[in-house]
Structure 1
Amino acid sequence: MATKLRPLSSVRPVLNNKYLIKGWLDRGAFSVTYGESNVGKTFFALDLSLHIAASHDWHGCKVDGGSVVYVAGEGGSGVLNRIEAVKREHPDLIAAASENGFSLLPTVLDLCGIGDAGALIEALRGAVPVLIVVDTLARAMGAGDENTATDMGAFVRNIDAIREATGAHVMVIHHSGKDASKGARGSSALRGAVDTEIELTRTDNVVMAETRKQRDMPCDKVFAYTLRSVFLGNDVDGDAVTSAVVEQAEAVSKKIRVSGQQKIALQALADAMAHHGEKKHGDMFPQTRQCVPLVVWRDYCDRHSLSGGEGESTRRTAFHKAKNALQEKGIVRVVDDFAWRCEE
């Protein structure tokens, strides 16, 4: 231990980090890519993985690549068709990835229990992968509960053991929680352990990949893409079989999402505005929009049955919760007990 002590005068900056994708992923680190179901997480992860295996720049970002192992725990034949779609549209990328070493492991691993992490390490003995993708966390939890810190802690320890033994960066594909603003689903022990978080969200047909956490890098990267359909052939019934490939797109403004109760509160506000809206004068109020007293808005919320309860306290709590959420999202403003809609 004494030999590891370093006086402050000997500390120097590290100017050259070892990266896989510059600004996105560091070598030997731990990342999570998450998003809602069917947002295109596997398409994104495969596109990124193939560029790393091919050592090709990833949509304008520098890549220092190497061999990749992709653990496909879900998707069935879907992952095979997705790779085939890339092969048909980008044969040079597939050729380079094949030459440098891209391996698919279409099986379910239990990385919460004992045994499978060691088996994977043993299977990769002698190999030097720079990236291992686990798709998805839910399929790799075995009998574990992703919502408990104990089971998530066991999963993280197995990921760390794989990283330590192989030297690889491990990326885990995961789902968003019910409240997307709170990040990936399950125990917060996962977020505390990862070095990088990438969130995928869809607006119309454009998917946005954005860094939400970077332990040692600026957290400001955005990659927008669409999924372009690729025809693969016909099945036994003569129906077309298709998959898709990632195609870079222009970033778009996200649509603000509102919950069921927030939608009810907005409809109540619109009705209240139609019957009781008034222009307010002063620097704090909008010059081109009508306002309505909070007490009137709340009365209309009660008439719209915002709260399922009958008690005054329940109705009051439901109104304040919806009002505050809409203010935080920038949809509604409240000044001097008057409310108005900011964004249509």
Structure 2
Amino acid sequence: MDRLDDPYRSVEYGCKPPSRPGLHLLSYAEMEAMPEPEWLVEGLIQKRSTALMFGKSNSFKSFLAIDIGLSVETGRDWHGNAVSAGGVLFVATEGANGVGRLRIPAWYQHHAVSEEDRRAFLYPQEICLDAADDVTALIAAMNIRGAFALVVLDIFGGSMKGSEIEDKTARAWVHGIQRILRETGASVLTVAHTGWADDTRARMHTHFWGSFDSRLRMEGDKDALTGTLTVERHKDADSNGSWGFRMAQAGGSLVPELDENVKASKVRKLSPQQRTALDALDDAIVANGVRKFGQEWPPCNVVQIDHWRTHCDKHGVSDSGKADSRKKAFQRVRASLQERGLIRFYDGFVWRCFDD
């Protein structure tokens, strides 16, 4: 047999043959035949996908998450957007009593859902989705109850045993979420806080941030009882869509009602150049980040400043073709981000700042 036809020829080049039999590699024809993504909630969350809803405290994130989840559970259109009905599990890692006793019943009551048609489930405590045993237990509990279309995880910080800014925790957590998708067929909607310094991004490690199929930004006005939900990004669909809500009093809680007069803020606190530089920093940390130990170093990966600058050039922080102009643009955006407390430096390395 010719060496090029030998399925174990990789051994000759220092690679081991596959250790797991039965792996199927897609042919080009099979790639072409892969199905289009289907929507669980039209324009908002796709089936068997991960979605992140992030926003400041008191921006009504939890109320919108309940609204989305119970729309799926009852099969009702979500404010004019078609829904594919299915079972829903709420994992309330904090405030579970209020969620189960007040917020979910208030939504059902507001929408006149009969007692026999109230079928949502609640897991009322923290869970460690970066621990394989906890993921296995959750999947087993879901399988006992039947088929689920959506898991609402609220709130992100209570869903892991490690730190939300550590790479090791992030990788284990993402692996756990992917197991839930794969073994139950459900989508997962995760609710998370933003940092105080940068409210355009959830407070989490870069690996978490980049893992979600959809990112949804929530803004709210506590005094006016209004909020907006905006699609910031879909990996596999057009990233557009924004909805305004007025929060209606119902059963000792609040329920979102669509209000076209409520608009999302058009002013982002970060300039496009600052946003681009932070995206470049995220990429640099993923590509070249290292972990340092000692009192001077943070509990997350850091990266050499030169690597960050290289990624800034790739992202186009400056569109000038001149090296000197690009260098000055980098220095300006670097100084502005440091002044705002979004990044820190030590010994030639840089990292993102996170709230304590």
TM-score of Structure 1 vs Structure 2, range by shorter chain: 0.5 to 0.7
Of 244, 265, 268, 1:254 maps to 265
Distance in 1 between residues matched to 2:336 and 2:24, nearest whole Å: 55
Map of 2:343 onto structure 1: none
Post-superposition offset of 1:81: 0.7
Of 61, 83, 90, 2:104 maps to 83
Distance in 1 between residues matched to 2:152 and 2:24, nearest whole Å: 38
Post-superposition offset of 1:148: 1.4
* Residue identity matched to 2:263: V
Of 186, 203, 215, 2:235 maps to 215
Post-superposition offset of 1:172: 1.0
Distance in 1 between residues matched to 2:264 and 2:181, nearest whole Å: 37
Contact 1:206 1:252 in 2 (8 A): no
Contact 1:74 1:135 in 2 (8 A): yes
Post-superposition offset of 1:11: 2.9
Q: Percent identity?
A: 25
Contact 2:229 2:264 in 1 (8 A): no
| Change beyond 3 A, Cα 1:19–1:7 | closer
Q: Does 1:103 align with 2:113?
A: no
Q: Tell me the TM-score normalised to structure 1 length.
A: 0.66
Of 216, 219, 240, 1:198 maps to 216
Map of 1:19 onto structure 2: 39
Contact 1:51 1:97 in 2 (8 A): no
Contact 2:48 2:187 in 1 (8 A): yes
* Residue identity matched to 1:140: S
Distance in 2 between residues matched to 1:23 and 1:175, nearest whole Å: 22
Post-superposition offset of 1:145: 0.7
Q: Does 1:56 align with 2:67?
A: no
Say what the alpha-carbon RMSD is for the aligned residues.
2.9
Distance in 2 between residues matched to 1:105 and 1:43, nearest whole Å: 17
Unaligned runs of 5+ in 1: 233-241, 260-316, 326-344
Distance in 2 between residues matched to 1:175 and 1:28, nearest whole Å: 23
Give a deviation string over 1:121-152, Cα, whole Å, max 9, x none: 1112252101011111101122x111112211
Distance in 2 between residues matched to 1:115 and 1:210, nearest whole Å: 35
* Aligned residue runs from structure 1 range 141-152, under 5 A: 141-142=160-161, 144-152=162-170
Q: Does 1:188 align with 2:182?
A: no
Q: Which runs of structure 1 show a deviation greater than 4 angstroms over 4 or more consecutive aligned residues?
A: 94-97, 255-259
Q: Does 1:244 align with 2:254?
A: yes
Contact 2:56 2:199 in 1 (8 A): no
Post-superposition offset of 1:179: 3.5
- Higher mean displacement: 163-172 or 179-188: 179-188
Q: Tell me the TM-score normalised to structure 2 length.
A: 0.64
| Change beyond 3 A, Cα 1:63–1:76 | closer
Contact 2:90 2:152 in 1 (8 A): yes
Q: Give the greater-gyration-radius structure (CA).
A: 1
* Residue identity matched to 2:54: Y
Secondary structure of 1:124's partner?
helix
Of 44, 59, 64, 1:39 maps to 59
Map of 1:287 onto structure 2: none
Post-superposition offset of 1:27: 0.7
Contact 1:54 1:96 in 2 (8 A): no
Map of 1:5 onto structure 2: 27
Map of 1:139 onto structure 2: 158
Distance in 2 between residues matched to 1:214 and 1:86, nearest whole Å: 27
Contact 2:72 2:86 in 1 (8 A): yes
| Change beyond 3 A, Cα 1:114–1:205 | same
Contact 1:71 1:135 in 2 (8 A): yes
Distance in 1 between residues matched to 2:120 and 2:39, nearest whole Å: 18
Distance in 2 between residues matched to 1:243 and 1:3, nearest whole Å: 51
Post-superposition offset of 1:95: 4.9
Contact 2:53 2:191 in 1 (8 A): yes
Distance in 1 between residues matched to 2:117 and 2:84, nearest whole Å: 13
Give a deviation string over 1:21-59, Cα, whole Å, max 9, x none: 111111111111111111111100101101100111110
Of 79, 87, 91, 1:67 maps to 87
Unaligned runs of 5+ in 2: 1-22, 271-331, 341-356
Secondary structure of 2:108's partner?
helix
Secondary structure of 1:220's partner?
coil
User: Number of paired residues?
Assistant: 251
Distance in 1 between residues matched to 2:124 and 2:94, nearest whole Å: 8
Contact 1:137 1:173 in 2 (8 A): yes
Contact 1:177 1:185 in 2 (8 A): yes
* Aligned residue runs from structure 1 range 150-299, under 5 A: 150-203=168-221, 204-230=224-250, 232=251, 242-250=252-260, 251-252=262-263, 254=265, 256=267
Give a deviation string over 1:173-219, Cα, whole Å, max 9, x none: 11112344541111111122110111101245321101111011111
Post-superposition offset of 1:114: 3.4
Distance in 1 between residues matched to 2:265 and 2:24, nearest whole Å: 53
Distance in 2 between residues matched to 1:2 and 1:135, nearest whole Å: 36
